[in-house]
Amino acid sequence: MSEFLAMGGYAIYVWPAFAITAIVMALNVWLAYRRERAVIVRNRRRIRTQL
């Protein structure tokens, strides 16, 4: 297990790259969700003002 975590001596490069990738992917999902909610709220307001 420790050999796997050491990544053959390249762990100093692999794990930060893995962490950055995971953070960017999670941020991408979160920002898309937030944008979708904002669009839904904006459209609901527009529909209310048109009625």
Helix H, strand E, coil C: the string for the chain is: CHHHHHHHHCHHHHHHHHHHHHHHHHHHHHHHHHHHHHHHHHHHHHHHHHC
Question: CA-based angle 4:9:27, to the nearest 5?
Answer: 70
pLDDT of residue 51: 75
pTM of the model: 0.74
Where does residue 14 rank: exposed (0-12), middle (13-18), buried (19+ CB within 10 A)? middle
Q: Where are the domains of the chain?
A: 2-50
Predicted confidence (pLDDT) per residue in 1-51, tens digit: 999 889 999 999 999 999 999 999 999 999 999 999 999 999 999 999 987
